[in-house]
Amino acid sequence: MTVALLGPADIRRLADEIGLRPTKKLGQNFVHDANTVRRIVQLSGVGSGDVVLEVGPGLGSLTLGLLAVGARVHAVEVDPALAQRLPTTVAERAGGAADRLHVLTADALRLAASDLPEAPNALVANLPYNVAVPVVLHLLGELPSLRTALVMVQTEVADRMAAGPGSRSYGVPSVKLAWYGTAKKVAAVPRAVFWPVPNVDSALVAFQRGEPPAQVPADEVFAVVDAAFAQRRKTLRAALAGWAGSAQQAEKLLRAADIDPAARGEQLAVADFARLVAVRG
């Protein structure tokens, strides 16, 4: 099946047609380079038989690329004008694939599994940069069927998502994402492939779901992670005083979990945080 991917002139024409003025508030930067779209789809590893969740399809650049390889696509778009135009764009440029597209006008941060007609196994998206991490974490928690992801985010965010303990970029996003699996920064994306051109660099992050490191509730692990990183310069004994009830109790729990009370949050892996929650009971 032949699919006509969007180029720079197509993007401008579609934007003019619906009176679109891209806004920073919604993180609207649209990919207009077909080779970049093909690269994203290739790196995602999706193909015929995959059910893909795409967040923020915008004018349809990546949507068309995903449909071209035979995937079924559930596109979640918060902008009603863009959501309304997307099926028409697909019908015009990939008519034979129109029945494999489902568009939902919704905020991905509030998306529930019950909102989708089937369970997606892959997330592939050019995410709005201002909400990228919250969206990914929400979807991984809400949709256990998601086994893989490939997301385009700001380079600085990509570094944080893929960082390991002790590294400069390691923080709350790194630990929480590691609860669900393994993230890796796989490619840089030049600014010139977007319209409008963003004032930040972009990168692709690949994710593979794994098993949680312990049988404890995710929200309890995330609560102690938040506390540990709220004041990065403090030792865990001090940083977790509020979470544990007192500095003395925090030290007791840390020692019981075989964690140095003088350590800082950036030195701990997600399994360490999970062990601390398990000790607290």
Question: From the annotation, which residues make up the binding site?
Answer: 29, 31, 56, 77, 107, 126
The values of phi and psi at residue 81, to 5°, are -65, -40
Alpha carbons 177 and 199: distance in angstroms, whole number:
26
CA–chain centroid gap for 181, Å, is: 12
Residue at 33: amino acid letter = D
> Both tokens of residue 235?
């030792």
Query: In whole angstroms, what is the distance from residue 10 CA to residue 197 CA?
Result: 16
For residue 232, CA distances in Å to 18, 138, 155, 228, 237 come to: 46, 24, 22, 7, 12
Contact by Cβ (8 Å): 230, 175: no
Neighbour order of strands in the sheet with 101-105: 101-105, 72-77, 51-55, 122-126, 148-154, 202-209, 181-189
* CA-based nearest residue to 259, from 229, 241, 279, 242: 279
Burial class (CB in 10 A: 0-12, 13-18, 19+), 180: buried
For the annotated binding site for S-adenosyl-L-methionine, the residues are 29, 31, 56, 77, 107, 126
